[in-house]
Structure 1
Amino acid sequence: MFYLILGLILWIAAHLFKRVAPDLRARMGNAGKGVAALGILAGLVLMVIGYRQADFINVWYPPSWTVHINNLMMLGAVFLYGMSATKGRLRGAMRHPQLTAVKVWAVAHLLVNGDLASLILFGGLLLWAVLEVVVINKSETWNRPKPGEAKRDIILVVITIVLFLVMTAIHNWLGVWPFPG
């Protein structure tokens, strides 16, 4: 669990660096971007290693029907994440679509994983996303972008479905089939 927790700490610290220590970050210039990127990457690698190495310690038994809710929430999370890059009508519908997607993703995974490592990983990333939204909202004003063309939202739906299928294939490749049999 050490690597998992260290990875979470690095991930959170690197993401919050710009807002928690803005003067230091500004003095570092482009090197600060590199430090943050390295911290995020190292955090991600450590979280994956730590999660895969963690002993299975069951905390609760999720009901089998939560898999269906998870899959629906994951489809929504992929859509929300894509909203940040869309130029369609939905462009300005939400201030933090990527962080909202992370929150939906984390809750979806907490619904179907009752072991301690999952609670630490997904719960930790959920707490980070909530904290990140609070910090951003306190430090920046938001100018809602003007909506674009509706056809771009249709493209977003198609891309969402394709990415969801790719993610399903990756989960299957990793030995986790996300659909009940």
Structure 2
Amino acid sequence: MALLLVGLVLFIGIHSIRLFAPDWREFMMQQLGENNWKMLHAVVAIIGLLTTIMGYGYARYSAEWLWVPPVWTRHVAALIILFAFIYIAAAAMPYSKIKARVGVPMVVGIKLWAFAHLISNGTTADVVLFGSFLAWAVANFVISRRRIKQQGETFLAPDFKYDFIAVVVGVLAYVAVAFYLHGLLIGVAPFAV
């Protein structure tokens, strides 16, 4: 469990600097240079992500069950995660109506992903991993929306073309992950019979 916690501190920590220490972030970008800061951010994020994945892999085999989720939670989670993929895809669309509406669709996608995994998994490792991401995403959403409002930031959304692309990309990514990659990479096939 310690490795999982270290990974989460690194990954979520580096992604929280902009939220909780924006002045320090700006100072570091000036000291190091923007490209060096981005490189440092990327390196810490990758190390954190890999450590989180390894830590979760180890922790889930020795984790205690806090509850045994009913089978129906897997079906609900599958539907919620479909929407998570669509929101995450919308984050890459510059003129998406989804992006204009929520402001931070990537964070909404992460919230949905974490919540879905929390309701359908019941070990201590699951609660630590997905609960951490859910708490971070909720805080990120609130802070980011407040910042967007204070800065008067608006998102142009000329038509639904970008939303259509986000839906198609999200659904294709969902199918690839749910029916192939999740089992291959995580060792759990969500739709196994």
Matching of residues 121-136 of structure 1 within 5 Å? 121-136=129-144
Instruction: Say if 1:26 and 1:32, in contact at 8 Å, map to a contact too.
Output: no
1:170 aligned residue: 181
Q: Distance in 2 between matches of 1:152 and 1:143?
A: 19
TM-superposition CA deviations, 1:7-44 (whole Å, max 9, x none)? 11112221122343334322332233222222221211
Q: Distance in 2 between matches of 1:42 and 1:7?
A: 7
Higher helix proportion (structure 1 or 2): 2
Q: Distance in 2 between matches of 1:134 and 1:156?
A: 23
SS at match of 1:58: coil
Alignment size in residue pairs:
181
Q: Which amino acid aligns with 1:97?
A: P
Structure 1 residue 115: Cα displacement: 0.7
Distance change >3 Å, CA 19–CA 171, structure 1 → 2: closer
Runs of 4+ in 1 over 6 A off after TM superposition: none
Instruction: Give TM-score scaled by structure 1 length.
Output: 0.90
Instruction: Say if 1:67 and 1:179, in contact at 8 Å, map to a contact too.
Output: no
Structure 1 residue 146: Cα displacement: 2.2
Which ranges of structure 1 fall in alignment gaps of 5 or more residues? Answer: none
Q: Distance in 2 between matches of 1:151 and 1:19?
A: 31
Percent identity over the alignment is: 32
Instruction: Say if 2:182 and 2:188, in contact at 8 Å, map to a contact too.
Output: yes
TM-superposition CA deviations, 1:96-126 (whole Å, max 9, x none)? 2111111110010011111110110000111
2:51 to 24, 46, 59: 46
1:153 aligned residue: 163
2:105 aligned residue: 97
2:120 aligned with 1:112: yes
Structure 1 residue 180: Cα displacement: 5.3
TM-superposition CA deviations, 1:147-174 (whole Å, max 9, x none)? 1222332222211111011112111223
SS at match of 2:69: coil
Which ranges of structure 2 fall in alignment gaps of 5 or more residues? Answer: none
